[in-house]
Chain A
Amino acid sequence: MQLTGAQMICESLLREEVDLLFGLPGGAILPFYQTLPQYPKLRHILVRHEQNAGHAADAYSRASGRVGVCVATSGPGATNLVTPLATAMMDSVPMIAITGQVPRAAIGRDAFQETDATGITLPITKHNYLVMSAGDVPRVMKEAFHIARTGRPGPVLIDFPRDVLTEKAEFQYPESVALRGYKPTLEGHGQMIKRAARLIKEARRPVILAGHGVIISGAFAELRELAEKAQIPVITTLLGISAFDEGHVLALGMPGMHGMAYNNWAIDRSDLLIAVGMRFDDRVTGRLSAFAPNARVIHIDIDPAEVGKNVRVTVPIVGDAKRVLHALAREVEQATHVDWIREINELRREHPSDKVRESSKLLPQYVIRELSEVTDGRALLVTGVGQHQMWAAQHYHFKEPNTWLTSGGLGTMGFEVPGAMGAWFARPDKAVWSIAGDGGFQMTMSELATMVEHKVNVKFAILNNNFLGMVRQLQDLFHDRSRVAVEYSGNPDFVMLAQAYGIWATRVTERAQVRKAIEDAMAVDGPALIDFRVEPEENVYPHVPAGESVAEMVEGPTLEGEAAWRR
C-alpha cells in the first residue's frame, strides 16, 4: 500500500493504540495536519502553547499508563517542547513527540523556522530520530513506541522534514523491532533475589523506599504483599506517592528534604533499605556520606545505571519492579518487626511533621487537609513545583494507586495546568484537582481556554501567597531574609481571570470558607477555580538544607524572629 509519510504516521499511531494528540500546527508540520481529517479516530486537542502540549501528553501517559503524543512544528515549535521532554525524561515518562522539520534540501542552511531538533533534544530524550526517507517511517514509529514504553520508560522525539511527510512509499507496519543495542532486563537475577531475602531475614530495622518504578510497573499488590508478609514499613518518595495506600498501618509517607522528619530519622537508624524503583535523588539522601549510615542496601531498579550511582549497594537487582517484588515476596519469610514499628511510632510522636499546626489563619496545609477529607483521598492531584507541591505531598492522604502527578526530577513550574488537562483526558471519571501556585499557574494558564473548549472537568486550587514561595523560604532561612525577586505584587484577580474564560471561580480568605468552596467547585460541571489567599509567610517544614544530613534538619519555625514576624 503506497502512502504518504504523513499517512504512515497516522496509520502507525492507530496501530500503537493512540487516539489522542496534543499539538499546535505550523508550516513544516502542515502536511501531517492536513492528513488528520482522513483519520477521525485520532482526536487532536489544539493547545495554546507547545510546552503545554508536551506536559499534557506527559500527564496523559502518567495517568493512563499509555503513551501520550504531542505534535509541534519546526523551529520554535520544537524548542517549546524542550521543557516537557526534559520533564518526562527525568521522571521516566513514556511520550512521543512528533515535530516538523524544514524540507530535506533546506536542512543545515538556516532556513526559516529551522532548528536542530534532534541535536537540541539529544540529552533530554531516551532516543530521537530524524527521518530522512518516507520508507523509514513505519520502522521508526514502531521502534519509537517500543523504546518509549519498555525498560525504563522515557520520551522519544521524531523529527519529520516536510517533504518526507508528502513523499510516498510502501507502508507495511513491522511486527517486531530489531534493536541489537536495546534489550532491557526484566527478570531479577534469582541468586540476587535469594541474597535479598536473606538480608531481609537478618534485618531488625528494615524499611522499604518505594519510588516511581512501583507505579510505572503497576506493582501495587506486589509491594503490599512484600511489606505485609515481612512486616516492613513503607516510605514513598515524592514520585512514589500513591504507590502504597496511605491509610495502611505500614505507610509512613515521604522522606527527604521536605519529607516527614520521623522518616528521615527512621532511615538514619535503619539497618536495611529496600529501595524499589527509586534513584536515591539528592532530595532524598541529603549528604550522601551521612545518609543511612547503619544500613545495608537492596536496590531494585530496571535501569542498571541507577544501581550504585549514588549509594553503595549490598544487593543489586536489575529488573522490572513488579516481577522482582513478586519473586522477592515469595522468597521472604513471614516476619514481624514490632519493636521497630514501635520505635518509628515513637519517632512520629516526637517529630509530628504530619500534623497541621493550630492557627486561626488560612494555612495552605489546612486547605490540603480539607481537600483530602472532602474528596476522601480519592481525587487525582496534579501539582506544580514549590511550596504548594510539598504541602500537597505532605498533607493529602492518598488512598488510590497512581493518583499523584508531579514534576519531581526536573521540578517544572507550570506543570499543574497542562498536566491536569492531560490527566483528565486520561481519566475523565476521576475528580482531577490541580494544586497550583500563583507563580506556576501564570506560566501556563493559557490552557484555560483549551479546557473550556473541551469542557475539561478540572478543579484548580491556587494556593496564592503572592510569592515565589519556595524561593522566598530559601532566602528567609538561608540568605538572611534578603528577599530578591520573589514577590508578585501585581498578580491578577484570579477569580475575574477565570470568569473571563467563562470558568466558575471563587475566592477563599477564611478557614470557615474552605470546605464549602471545595464542595461548590466539585458541583460545577466543567472547570472551576478557587483562589485560596493563604498565609503568605508560611514555610514548608521540615527542611533539610541542601547537601546536609538529617542532623541539620529544621523541623519548624524555630528560627529567631520568625514567630514575632508572623504577628
Chain B
Amino acid sequence: MAAVNGHVHTITALVEDRPGVLTRVSGLFRRRGFNISSLAVGASEQPNLSRMTFVVHGDEWVVEQVTKQLYKLVDVVRVNDISHEQVVARELALIKVKASADTRSEIIQIVDIFRAGIVDVAADTVIVEVTGDEEKVDAIMKLLKPFGIREVMRTGRIAMARGAAATGAKPASAPVAAQSAPDTEVVP
C-alpha cells in the first residue's frame, strides 16, 4: 500500500512538543501555497516529540520544497517522505447515518462487508466506525450516502513502515548537499 498515487505524497515529521508548533507548520504550508489534503498529529514513541503525518499534493519539486522548508523550522527535528516506502497507511472515520427500522439491517450488511463497526445506535441514526486507507473510507461513505449521512469525522492519514525498520529510517534530505542534483544531461 505505497502511498504514491499520481502526485500524492505522504510526509511524516518529528517535531518538538511545544506550544505553537502546529501553527508554525500549518502557517508554513499556507504561506508557501503548499496543498495538503490531510494532517494528523499525535504523540510519538519519544518523550517531548510529536509526530505529524501530512498528505501533500504536488510534484517532486513541491515535495522537496516542503521538506526543506519544514527543516528550516527550529522545532522540526526530522522529516521523511515515505511515499516510496512500503508502509501501512490508515485513517479512522466516524460516520453518523440515518437509520430507520427498515434500513438498519441493510446498513449493518454494508458495515460487515467493510469490516467496520457500529458504535452507537439511536432511534433514527447509527454511528459507523471504519478504519482503512482513504479509498476504503471513501467507498463505504459512497454506499452509506443514499441512507443520509448526518455527520462525518475523519482523522487524516497516519502511516508506518512495514517490517522491523523505523518509519523513514533514512531522512528525506538530511545530508543536504547530496540532494536534488538534477541530471547534468538535462541542463546543457
- Interface positions of A (Cβ within 8 A of B): 118-119, 122-123, 126-127, 130, 147, 179-182, 185, 188-189, 191-192, 294-297, 303-305, 307-309, 312-319
Contacts and interface: CB of A to CB of B under 8 A. Distances in A.
B61 to A, nearest CB: 8
Given A304-B68, A308-B64, A309-B65, A316 B181 contact: yes
B51 to A, nearest CB: 13
A295 B23 CA distance: 40
Nearest to A199: B184
A315 B177 CA distance: 9
Interface string B158-182: 0000000000000001011111111
Contacts of B178: 189, 191-192
A181 B77 contact: yes
A191 B68 CA distance: 21
Contacts of A123: 27-28, 31
Interface string B50-61: 000000000001
The 10 A-B pairs of least Cβ separation, nearest first, read A189-B177, A305-B68, A304-B176, A181-B77, A318-B176, A318-B177, A127-B74, A308-B180, A182-B74, A180-B77
B85 to A, nearest CB: 22
B75 A181 contact: yes
B182 A314 contact: yes
12 contacts: A179-B74, A181-B16, A185-B176, A185-B177, A191-B178, A295-B187, A296-B184, A305-B72, A308-B61, A313-B180, A316-B177, A316-B180
Contacts of A303: 72
B161 to A, nearest CB: 21
B71 interface: yes
A181 B27 contact: no
Given A181-B16, A189-B177, A314 B187 contact: yes
B24 interface: yes
B153 interface: no
Given A304-B173, A312-B182, 13 more contacts: A122-B23, A122-B27, A126-B74, A130-B20, A180-B77, A181-B73, A181-B77, A181-B78, A188-B177, A308-B180, A309-B65, A313-B182, A314-B187
A318 B179 CA distance: 10
A200 to B, nearest CB: 14
Given A147-B74, A316-B177, A305 B69 contact: yes
Most B CB within 10 A of own CB, among A119, A147, A182: A182
B71 A296 contact: no
Contacts of A295: 187
Nearest to B75: A181
Given A181-B16, A181-B74, A303-B72, A317 B64 contact: no
A226 to B, nearest CB: 18
Contact of A317 (B16, B73, B177): B177
Contacts of A297: 187
Given A180-B77, A296-B187, A304 B179 contact: yes
A304 B173 CA distance: 9
Contacts of B72: 303, 305
Contact of A313 (B68, B71, B181): B181
Contact of A314 (B28, B175, B181): B181
A213 to B, nearest CB: 15
B47 interface: no
Most B CB within 10 A of own CB, among A119, A192, A297, A318: A318
A180 B175 CA distance: 15
B6 interface: no
A203 to B, nearest CB: 12
Given A181-B16, A181-B73, A314-B187, A319 B23 contact: no
A146 to B, nearest CB: 10
A294 B179 CA distance: 23
B186 interface: yes
A313 B178 CA distance: 12
B180 A189 contact: no
Nearest to A118: B20
B188 interface: yes
B99 interface: no
Contacts of B23: 119, 122
Interface string B3-43: 00000000000011001100110011001000000000000
B76 interface: yes
Contacts of A119: 23
Contacts of B181: 192, 313-316
Contacts of B20: 118, 122, 130
Contacts of B61: 308
A297 B15 CA distance: 34
